[in-house]
Amino acid sequence: MTELEAGRAQALVPVRSGAVLQRYRDVLIALIAFAVLASLPLFTGSKALLDFVIRCSAYGLFATSLNLLVGYTGLTSFGHGMFFGLGAYSFGLIMQKLGLPIPAAFVATLAITAVFAAIIGAICVRLKEIYFAFVTLAFQMLIHSTILSWASFTGGDQGLRGGIPRPVFLGIDLSNHVHLYVTSCALLIVGLLAMRQIAQSPFGYTLRMIRDNAARASFLGIDVWRAKLTVFVLAALFASMGGMVMALFVSGAYPEFAYWTISGEGIFINMLGGVSTFLGPMVGTVLLLLLNDTVTRFTEYHGIVLGVVILFFALGLRKGLLDFVAEWYAHRRETGEER
């Protein structure tokens, strides 16, 4: 082995084992996070706290999936909330009208979402920035108004009422609060782990290339349209999962789940937490829900307070909370290396 080859081999080993190690590390973190969350009911009887975590699961799945589009691919969707609503309504309707077992309804809802996302995505992802944003918003309003006007099927502005049946499956009874809580946590962790895998896969790096320089990516032989459509559908699936958690939580589905404000909140969460790190949206979710809950307790003008907060982040900081932490960490490591 020549000196050059030896040096190369040395440089290469960390590349490979690094990627594998990273995967084990992620799984380990996920297991610990799940263990901590799932054991929470053993230490506290607070229903409010468990409810808070369930809502974080629903919104966290949704917001993180939006980050796959906004942060990783540079596709700013203003209509991502439609898949949250679609998930909640499809799941609720399947359970109410067909009475399938919950896992079957879960899979069927994902399949329905995939079909809708593929059709809507095929139309939208060709469009550039602002047009993409507004056409996705238009589709969201289309779905919202369909829900409102097709009252005989969807319950119109009253939403899906009468509760969603929750038959026991595999010993899991989702009408039991703790069972519902642990299931929500499990869905959150599995969803996050799957999205993390997508973000760190070769496809995830294809998305980054498209975000940075789509024209150059196509000169490397990448089919940009197909990659964008793929991530659009994948992100929709996780948003739909979030919608299903929400539907299970409130035992119903309401038109607000499909309204544009959900998409707006998703964008807001991403701005709060930051889009440059994988867990930014998760941090943003916790922040937004905390803010929402505390502010509404003190004032009925909570919209004003939230507005001020978003202005502070958007104009004052120009990045999310976790972006700051990541930058600080990177800076510290750099100066550490130089020393």
The least CB distance from residue 215 to another protein, in Å, is: 7
Looking at the Cβ atoms of 219 and 298, the one nearer to another protein is 219
The least CB distance from residue 243 to another protein, in Å, is: 22
Looking at the Cβ atoms of 50 and 68, the one nearer to another protein is 68
The least CB distance from residue 209 to another protein, in Å, is: 5
- Residue ranges binding another protein (CB under 8 A): 4, 8, 11-12, 15-16, 19-20, 22-23, 197-198, 200-206, 208-209, 211-213, 215-223, 226-227, 230
Phi and psi dihedrals of 253, rounded to 5?
Answer: -145, 140
The least CB distance from residue 22 to another protein, in Å, is: 6
Looking at the Cβ atoms of 4 and 42, the one nearer to another protein is 4
The least CB distance from residue 333 to another protein, in Å, is: 11
Per 3-state DSSP, what percentage of the chain is helix, strand, and coil (rounded to 5)?
80, 0, 15
Token readout for 312 is: 């502070």
Token readout for 8 is: 């190369």
For 15, 70, 198, 213, the CA distances from 208, given in Å and listed in that order, are 19, 11, 12, 9
Cα dihedral value 290, 293, 298, 299, nearest 10: 110
Looking at the Cβ atoms of 136 and 206, the one nearer to another protein is 206
CB within 8 Å of 326: residues ≥ 6 apart: 274, 276, 277
Q: Cα–chain-centroid distance for residue 236?
A: 9
Looking at the Cβ atoms of 93 and 241, the one nearer to another protein is 241
What count of residues does the chain have?
A: 339
